[in-house]
Amino acid sequence: MLGKSQKILKTKFTIYLCFIITYFGYAQNKDYTEIKGIKYYQDTVLSQDVYANKMCVLDIYYPLKKTNAPAVIWFHGGGLSGGDKFIPNALKEKGLIIISVNYRLHPRVKNPTYIQDAAAAVAWAFKHIETYNGNKKSIFISGHSAGGYLASMIALDKKWLKKHNIDANTIAGVAPFSGHTITHFTIRKEQGIDGTQPIIDEFAPLYHVRKDAPPFLLITGDREKEMLGRYEENAYLMRMMQVVGHKNTVLFELNGYDHGGMAQPAFQLLINFINKVNYESRE
């Protein structure tokens, strides 16, 4: 049993340890800040649509003491019909700007509204990133599942960003996590097509393979644990990008991880990808 003096000493040590943890936690976190609920469409657009005014917002997390920081635009998953924006913890305090985007969802809207919203959010980033210590030459796009699909679509089909006077080739890199490369199943559902019937039309990233696209990092879970055909879709996209002459498409299969579980280990691959692309751009 502890004596009275030992108990007092232990209590003081505990209080001191809590103070140290709190102090250094604050010292670490104060180098970053987060702003929530930024609207990425102009008020003239949002004033005409109550649902758009609610959903077409983004959060931005950025370093206060670093300039020309690379940025990651993150699109959440949820089958284009669910999910909510969030700042991935695995990307925090890594010297990155993180932009997390909400977009309108099925069934309140239908295709191509999802893609249009994603493109508008990316356009916002290109126009405003320097205000948040970023660099327009170092904007990456990523997302999980439906978010990965959106990232691939707006990077490969140049027309979506062209509407905002932005060349999709100026995206520094694209890293979809387990994203559809065929037409998304919700878009097929809207057309009365069964989820097991694969379609490659203008709303499939595969339809828009091109030699001059930004670098691509494709990541999926284990092919035996993934959603139906998701690994094979991504393998086909990688192969077709190679066929058309694209020099920088890489595919990772995360063995042992299912569709949801693959996201956590994929974040480190995303960080490595950003560092690699930025290093090569300086050579």
Q: For 221-265, what is each residue's pLDDT tens digit?
A: 999 999 999 999 999 999 999 999 999 999 999 999 999 999 999
Average pLDDT over residues 36-59: 96
pLDDT value, residue 221: 98
Query: According to DSSP H, which parts of 137-262 are helical?
Result: 146-156, 159-162, 185-190, 230-243
Separation between Cα atoms, residue 167 and residue 163, nearest integer Å: 9
Average pLDDT over residues 13-19: 41
The domains located in the chain, with CATH, are 35-282 (3.40.50.1820)
CA dihedral sign of residues 178, 155, 195, 143: positive
| Rama region for 189: left / alpha / beta (φ>0; ψ in -120 to 50; rest) | alpha
- Type of residue found at 72: V
- Type of residue found at 41: Y
Distances (CA, A) of 104 to 79, 81, 123, 265: 12, 8, 17, 28
Is residue 40 classed as helix, strand or coil in its secondary structure?
A: coil
Average pLDDT over residues 48-73: 97
Average pLDDT, the chain: 92
pLDDT value, residue 15: 40
Average pLDDT over residues 7-27: 41
- Type of residue found at 243: V
Q: Is the pLDDT of residue 136 over 50?
A: yes
Residues near 24 by beta carbon (within 8 Å), at least 6 away in sequence: none
